[in-house]
Amino acid sequence: MGSDSKTVCVTGASGFIGSWARHEAPRTWLYFRATVRDPKGVKHLLDLPKANSHLTLWKADLSEEGSFDAAINGCFGVFHVATPMDFESKDPEMYFVSKTLAEQAAWKFAKENNLDFISIIPTLVIGPYLMPSMPPSLITGLSPITAEGRYICSSHAATIVELANMLREKYPEYNIPTKFKDADENLGNVNFSSKKLQDLGFQFKYSLEDMFVGAVETCRAKGLIPAPINPSGPASTDQVVNGCTPISIETTVNGKS
């Protein structure tokens, strides 16, 4: 079956980034085949503009070999944003390892089958979780004129200590801890270059504070953060995590706009 130059497949279309990839359809010439594990839980996709004309839903599961074949067959491109995730897992590295292995496998498959492949790598997606548009870095990276390759998207570098200090100053009512095991003020940053993405014309828009404050304020507005914790002594990391305070990060983090 020949490919349709106007049809693409989006895996994991019910997720945050997948949903916004589909949301951009009315602004482009694209028609979307959206794969989801549960077609009954995607009302937000069906309510998007032009869903009747630009969207078809396909049931698929990464744990089932071949379940994506029908949805992908005939498309000229695939936005692969789905990844297997066990929310009951205690392994903090599970999600990152899953994404890394998926990218490695995709590069191998693309080279073996002579396919054009573009990988967009946001170091962290943070900010208000209800947004008016898809993250612009993805729009830039998914443009038909974008050259093949890997595109890192990292606007800022910050350690857990720096983030904790910033949030504690901004939200003193939560008494956010600033002391962490094996991490002190001398902890160095890990910097990633986004030059390749910026050379395409992409520009970062938000400050580190904008992104984290936006996330916190969204949670507050939706009632996801409880009343401030006022312990008699300094808060511990466990108190903050169990109390659902705004942010808990266990490693060096690089922010993304």
In a 13 Å sphere around the CA of 159, the CA atoms on its Cβ side amount to: 15
Q: Pick from 232, 228, 233: which is nearest to 245 by CA?
A: 228
Please report which helix (H) or strand (E) contains residue 238, including its range. Answer: helix 237-242
Residue partners of 206: CB distance under 8 A and separation at least 6 = 127, 155, 214, 257
**How far is 176 from 171, CA to CA, in rounded Å?**
8
In a 13 Å sphere around the CA of 248, the CA atoms on its Cβ side amount to: 15
**Which entry of 6, 40, 59, 99 is annotated as an active-site residue?**
99
Other Cβ atoms within 10 Å of 220 Cβ, number: 13
* Structure tokens that stand for 257 in this block: 């706009």
Q: Is 256 a catalytic residue?
A: no
State the Rg of the chain over Cα. 20
Check: CB of residue 146 under 8 Å from CB of residue 118: yes
What residues are labeled active site? 99
